[in-house]
Amino acid sequence: MPSITLHINDHPHAVDVAPDTPLLWVLRDTVGLTGTKYGCGMGLCGACTVHLDGEARRACQILVSSIGSARITTIEGLAADRKHPVIRAWLAEQVPQCGYCQPGQIMQAAALLAGTPHPTRQQIDEAMNGNICRCGTYQRIRRAIARAAAETA
Amino acid sequence: MMPDDTLTRRAFLGVGAQGAAALVVGFYLPACGGTRETTPGRAGQAFTPNAWIRITADDRITILVEKPELGQGSRTYTAMMVAEELEADWSTIRVVQAPTVPAIYKELRTAGSGGVESTYLAMRQAGAQARELLRTAAARHWGVPRQDCRAVNGAIVLAGTGRRLSFGALASAAAALPALAPTEIPLKAPEQFRLIGRAVPRLDLPAKVDGSATFGIDVRVPGLLFAVIARCPYFGGRLRHVDATRARRVPGVHAVFPVAPLPRRFNTAGGVAVVADSSWSAVQGRRELVLAWDRPAGEPESTAGLRRVMERAVLGPATFVAVDRGDVVDALRGASRVLEADYESPFQAHATMEPMNTTVDVREREIEVWSPTQFADEVQREIAELAGVALDRVIVHMTLSGGSFGRRYQWDVPAEAWQVANVMRRPVQVMWTREDDFQHDFYRPHNRQRLRAGLDTRGRLVAWSTRIVTTPIAATNLYTGYTESPETLRDPATIAALEWYGGDIAPYAIPNFRLDYAPADSVVPRSWWRSVASSYTPFAEESFMDELAHALGRDPLRFRLDLLTPGEPDADRLRRVLRLAAEQAGWGTPLPAFQGRGLACRVNGTCSAQVAHVAVDPDGSVRVLRVVSAVDCGLVISPDGVRAMTEGAINFALTAVLTGAITVKDGAVEQSNFHDYRVLRLSQAPDIDVQIVSSTAPPSGVGELGAMLAGPAVANAVFAATGVRVRRLPIESTLLRRT
Ligand code: FES
Ligand code: FES
C-alpha cells in the first residue's frame, strides 16, 4: 500500500492504510490519537468531529485518500495548551459527565465560534444538533458556548 | 496509551499484602535509598474499609476509589468525603481506581445510583481515622497532649505556638501507630464542613476536555489486535455455516473463527470473530463473511404480538401480589365511580455513547482485562470461572466508561472478549459497532400497566389497584436455558426489585391499595436501565393521578397535596418539593394556547417533584420548553453534582418519552443506529432548573429520580396543553396533530 501523508495538529504523519479507510480509524488505530471518538460510524452522532482546514467535519465520513494536503486538527491539537476559550469555558461550566461525546462537542463548538463569534441561541442549537450527548449535558454546552463567546468579546 | 489511573495489582500487593483483609488506612512511604520500603496499615476491628488513603512524604495524598467513574463524579465526591474529615489540602489529592483485590475492595460497582449513599459514612470514617493517627503522631513528636494538636489544611498545628508538621512529614510515624476503632473517632458536624456542600471542580474533567481521558475503547497496549463479532440477528439463533474465504483476504485481517454462545448467566449470542490490526479492517472483514443462521424454533417474536399478549395479561391472573392494603375488591365494588386506564412503554436501549468493548490479554500465568464495566469484581469472577483459573490470576482494570445507565452491569462483553483473546493469545480489543450495540443490548423491559381507582360519593379516592405486566428481567436468560429463573420469578424480593419497584403509591394516603404482577414471555434479553422498573411505574401512577384530578375537576397540585397526610415524614418531604417545584414553575399562571404544565412527584430515598412546561406544535410534535425539578436528597455533597445528574437524568428520560423505542420484528430488533433510534438532541433539550432542598439527612442518590418523573410530567403537560391523554410512550405525534 502506498503511504499517505497527513498533516495532523501541525505534524506530518505518513500512514500505510487502505485509501478507503475513514480518517477516524486512521487517527485512532494507526496514529494513536484516541481523543477522537467512534459513536456511530454513520455521521449521525458527532463524536468523531475534527477540523479539516478549520471546518468541523465527521472523521468517520472522510476517506483518508480524499484529504490531500488539508490540515487536520483533533482535540489533542486544539487543547494542546488548555488555553482555548472553548476548553476553558467547558471547565468553568463543568460540562462533561461521562465525557465520551465531549471532544466532538468541543471541536464542533470551536468551529462554530470561529465562524460566528457571537452565536444566538438558535445558531447554537442548529450548529450543535448533530452532536449527541447521552448523558444530557446539553444545557451546560449551551452555557459554555455563550461563556466562550463572551470571553472573546 | 496505557490507562494510568488504575493501580496495578503488583504495585498494590507490594504495598499491603499482609493482613490485607483488615487494613483500614495504609500509609505508603516513597522509595527510600533505592529500595521501596512500605508499611502496611493497621488492623481495624469491626471495620471493613472501602478504600485506602496513602500519604507520601512529599505530602501527596492518594485516595483509592472503588466505585467506577461513569460520569457521575464518583471519584471527586468520594475524595471530598475523605478529605473533609482528613483536613487535607485539596490541591494535594489524587484519585485512583481501586484494583480488583476481592479480599479488600468489595464494592467495585455502581448500581441504583447507590454511589453516594453507600460510601458517605465509610469514606468519612476512613478520613477521620487517618486524621486522628496523624494527630497522635504529632503529639508524641512534640511531647504534648493530643488535644493541643489540630489538623488544618494538610498539616498538624500545635495550638498557640505556630509550630506545624505536614501530613507527609508525619506519615511514617503515623503508620507505626495502632489503629483506632472507627467508633472512637469523632466525625465533623455538618456546620464545620469546608468541602462537602461546596463547589469543588471535578477531578476527572480536565482529562475529559483535552482528549487524554482513556475510556475502554481507547486502551492501547503493545501488540494489540482489534476484533468484531458477527452475531446472529435473531435472538436465540445459532450459526449454521460460515464462509470466511473473502473475509480472510481483507488487508489487515489476522484470523476468523467461530465463537460459541455462552448460555446461562453470560447470555452472549456467539457468532464469528474477525480479528485484525485495526477496528476498521475487522469491520471490513466482517462485511465479507458469508453467514447462514439457524433461527430458534417456534413463531418469531414481534412487538405487535407481544402487545397483544400484554393486553390479555393485564386481565388474567396475577402470579404475584406485591402489596395488599385494606380490601381493594370490596372498596372498588362499593365505589360510586371507578376509573380505569392502561399505560404502556416499549423496550428501550441504553445507547451509551461509548459502544461496548473490552480488551483482554491472555498470558501464560495471568489474564489481564481492561473493561469499561460497572461491575469489576463480577467480571473478575466470571472470567476466572470461564478460564478455569484462580481469582488472583485475573486482573481487571476498570477504565472510564462512556456512559452506562445499567448496561455495563452485565458481563457478556468481557466474557466474549476473553473467548477471542484466549484463541489469539495476544492482547485483543473486542469492539461492538453501534449496530451491534442496538441489536444486542439487554433492553429495559416492555411493560403494560392497568390502573383502577374508586371514588366515593364525595369524590374521595378510596381504592386503587395496579396490575403490572412486564417481560421480566428476572427471566431474561430463560430462553437460553437459565434454569434458576423460574425459582427467581417466585422470589418476592427479586420481583420487587426488578419488576415492580416504584409501583407502590405510598405515601399517598389511599385506604385500599393492591399491586400485583404478571410476566409476559419474550426472547429479548432484558436488564437494568437507569432506574429499572421505576422508569415506567411512575409514568402510569402519576399520569393516572392526573387523570383522577381532572376527572374530579380538581387542580392536580392541590389534589396531590390533599392526599399527603401531614406529619408523615415522606409525605411532608413530598409536600415541600411539590410546593417548591410548582412555585418555581409558575404553576397556575396562564400560558399561550397549546402550551401546558404537568406535574409529577415521587419518593425513592430521594424525594422529588417535577414540573414540565411543553408546547405542542400543529404537526403534533411536543417541545419540552422547561423542566423544574425540586430535589430533597438529604445532605448534598456537591450541589453542582446534584444539578448535573438531575439535568442528565431528565434529558436521558426524554428520549424514551419523545422518540426512542426498540421494537422487534421477525425475532430481531428493528433499530440499528441513531437514525432509527432517535435520541434527544440539543435543540430539543429543555431549560432545566434544579432546586435543591437543604437537609442534614444522610445523602441519597440522584442519578435516577429525574429519569422517573420526566415521563408523567411531560404527559400531564401535554394533557394540559391539548386535552389529549398520553397513555403510551414514546408520545405519538399523530394523536396530537391539528392540521
Ligand atoms: S462516529 Fe462519526 S458521526 Fe458518529
Ligand atoms: S458526557 Fe456522556 S455522552 Fe456526553
CA B652/CA A137 separation, integer angstroms: 10
- Whether the predicted pLDDT of B340 surpasses 50: yes
Please tell me if the CB atom of residue A11 comes closer than 6 angstroms to any atom of ligand 2. Answer: no
Of the listed ranges A132-136, B273-277, B282-286, B496-500, the one predicted with least confidence? B496-500
**How far apart are the C-alpha atoms of B469 and B495, rounded to whole Å?**
12
Q: What is the DSSP string of B359-391?
A: EEEE-SS-EEEEE--SBHHHHHHHHHHHHT--G
Q: Report the sign of the C-alpha dihedral through residues A115, B647, B561, B583, in that order.
A: negative
Spell out the per-residue pLDDT of chain A, length 153, in tens.
568 999 999 999 999 999 999 999 999 999 999 999 999 999 999 999 999 999 999 999 999 999 999 999 999 999 998 899 999 999 999 999 999 999 999 999 999 999 999 999 999 999 999 999 999 999 999 999 999 999 876
Spatial separation of the C-alpha atoms in residues B309 and B9, rounded to whole Å: 51
Q: Are B338 and B332 in contact (CB under 8 A)?
A: yes
For residue range B576-619, list pLDDT tens digits in order: 999 999 999 999 999 999 999 999 999 988 899 999 999 999 99
Domain count, chain B: 3
Q: Are residues A66 and A102 in the same domain?
A: no
Are A103 and A142 within one domain?
yes
A12 and A63 in a single domain? The answer is yes
**Distance, CA of B36 to CA of B14 (rounded, Å):** 9
B438 lies in some domain: no
Q: Of ligand 1's atoms, which has the minimum distance to the CA of residue A61?
A: 2
Residue B366 has, within 13 A of its CA and on its CB side, a CA count of 12
Which candidate in B1, B208, B401, B705 is best for mutational testing of the A interface (most A CBs within 10 A)? B208
**Candidates B201, B354, B681; nearest CB to A100:** B354
At B88, the pLDDT band (50, 70, 90 cuts) reads: very high
How far apart, in whole angstroms, are the C-alpha atoms of residue B581 and residue B369?
A: 46
Q: Are residues A8 and A69 in the same domain?
A: yes
| A124: CATH | 1.10.150.120
What are the angstrom distances between the C-alpha of B452 and each of A53, A91, B316, B449, B464? Answer: 62, 50, 15, 10, 6
Q: What is the mean pLDDT of chain B?
A: 86
Query: What's the rounded Cα separation, in Å, for the pair B137 and B171?
Result: 9
Residue B213 forms part of a structural domain: no
Q: How does pLDDT run across B477-504, given as a tens digit for each residue?
A: 433 333 345 555 566 666 666 777 778 8
Residue type, B39: T
Sorting pLDDT into bands at 50, 70 and 90, what band is B415? very high
The reply to whether B586 and B609 lie within a common domain is yes
pLDDT score recorded for residue B64: 84
For residues A45 and A106, membership in a common domain is answered with no
Structural domain of residue A140, as residue ranges? Answer: 85-151
Q: Where a domain ends, among B206, B240, B262?
A: B206
Q: In this predicted structure, what is the pLDDT of residue B101? A: 66
The answer to whether the CB atoms of B211 and A79 lie below 8 A apart is yes
User: Higher-confidence residue: B487 or B211?
Assistant: B211
The pLDDT of residue B488: 58
| Spatial distance between the Cα atoms of B533 and B502, rounded to a whole number of angstroms | 7
Average pLDDT over residues B414-436: 98
The dihedral through the CA atoms of A141, A146, A148, A149 has a sign that is positive
- One domain, residues B285 and B316: no
pLDDT-derived band at B12, boundaries 50, 70, 90: very low
On whether the CB atoms of residues B688 and B647 are closer than 8 A, the answer is yes
In a domain, B523, yes or no: yes
Instruction: State whether residue B239 is helix, strand or coil.
Output: strand
**Do A13 and A57 lie in a common domain?**
yes
Kindly state whether residue B1 falls inside one of the protein's structural domains: no
Q: In this complex, do B212 and A102 lie within 8 Å of one another by their Cβ atoms?
A: no
A147 lines ligand 1 (CB under 6 A): no
Q: For the segment A28-53, what is each residue's pLDDT rounded down to a tens digit?
A: 999 999 999 999 999 999 999 999 99
Of A57, A78, A99, the position where a domain reaches its end is: A78
The verdict on B363 and B451 lying in the same domain is: no
What's the CA gap between B167 and B88, in Å, rounded? 8
Query: Is the preceding omega at residue B566 within 30 degrees of 0, hence cis?
Result: no
- CA-to-CA separations, A125 to A139, B284, B621, B644, B674, in angstroms, rounded: 10, 35, 17, 20, 18
Q: How far apart are CA B450 and CA B464, in angstroms?
A: 11
Chain B residues with CB-CB distance to A33 below 8 A? 211
B355 to chain A, any CB pair closer than 8 A? The answer is yes
**Residue of B262, B272, B277, B261 lying closest to B229 (CA atoms):** B272
Number of domains in chain A: 2
Look up the CATH number of the domain holding residue A45: 3.10.20.30
Q: Is the dihedral of CA B654, B659, B664, B669 positive or negative?
A: negative
Structure letter (DSSP) for residue A29: I
d(C-alpha B737, C-alpha B44), whole Å: 66
Crossing angle for the helix pair A85-92 and A102-115, nearest 10 degrees?
Answer: 130
CB of A40 sitting under 6 A from ligand 1: yes
| Ligand nearest the Cα atom of residue B354 | 2
CB spacing of A29 vs B279 below 8 angstroms: yes
The pLDDT assigned to B117 comes to: 62
Q: Are residues B155 and B31 in the same domain?
A: yes
- Residue B59's pLDDT is what? 87
Q: Are B463 and B409 found together in one domain?
A: no
Q: Are residues B154 and B222 in the same domain?
A: no
Residue B301 contacts A, CB cutoff 8 Å = no
Which residue carries 422547561 as its cell?
Answer: B626
| Residue-range definition of the domain harbouring residue B677 | 303-347+444-735
Ligand 1, from A25, A34, A36, A48: best to mutate by most atoms within 8 Å of Cβ?
A: A48
Radius of gyration for the alpha carbons in chain A, expressed in angstroms and rounded: 15
State the pLDDT confidence band at B104, using cuts at 50, 70 and 90.
low
Average pLDDT of the residues in B358-370: 96
Same structural domain, B604 and B704: yes
| Poorest-pLDDT segment among B36-50, B677-691, B707-721 | B36-50
Residue B506 pLDDT > 60: yes
Looking at the predicted structure, is the pLDDT value of residue B5 above 60?
no
Q: How far apart are CA B422 and CA B236, in angstroms?
A: 24
Residue B27 is assigned to a structural domain of this protein: yes
Closest residue in B to A20 (Cα–Cα): B280
| Residues A73 and A17 both lie in one domain | yes
Q: Which of residues 217-246 of B touch A (CB under 8 A)?
A: 217-218, 220, 226
pLDDT value of residue B99: 72
* Same-domain check for residues B401 and B463: no
Q: Do B74 and B107 fall into the same domain?
A: yes
Q: Is A58 in the pocket of ligand 1 (CB under 6 A)?
A: yes
pLDDT at residue B195 is higher than 60: yes
As a whole number, mean pLDDT of residues B559-580 equals 95
Burial class (CB in 10 A: 0-12, 13-18, 19+), B298: exposed
> Quick one: pLDDT band at residue B557, thresholds 50, 70, 90?
very high
- Residue B253 · residue B285 · CB < 8 Å: yes
Nearest to B68 by CA among B405, B431, B383, B394: B405
Chain segment B632-644, per-residue pLDDT in tens = 998 898 999 999 9
State the pLDDT at residue B40. Answer: 29
For residues B617 and B5, which has the higher predicted lDDT (pLDDT)? Answer: B617
Question: Which residue in the set A34, A82, A138 is minimally distant from B651, CB to CB?
Answer: A138
B292-332 confidence digits (pLDDT tens)? 999 988 899 999 999 999 999 999 999 888 899 999 999 99
Which of chain A's residues have a Cβ under 8 Å away from the Cβ of B281? Answer: 18
B313 and B380 assigned to the same domain? no
- Report the CATH number that the domain containing residue B51 is assigned in CATH: 3.30.365.10
Average pLDDT over residues B200-220: 95
Same domain, A42 and A95: no
Reference B303, options B471, B433, B55, B531; nearest CA is B471
Residues A64 and A106 in one domain: no
B3 within a domain of the structure (yes/no): no
- Check whether residue B636 and residue B678 sit in a common domain: yes
Residues B525-550: b if buried by 16+ CB within 10 A, e if exposed: bbbbbbbbbbbbbbbbbbbbbbbbbb
Q: Confidence class of residue B103 from pLDDT cuts 50, 70 and 90? A: low
| pLDDT reported for residue B493 | 67
Domain shared by A97 and A115, yes or no: yes
Whether residue B390 sits in one domain with residue B491: no
Residues A8 and A74 in one domain: yes
Both A94 and A42 in one domain: the answer is: no
> Which one of A18, A106, A139 has the shortest CB-CB distance to B647?
A139
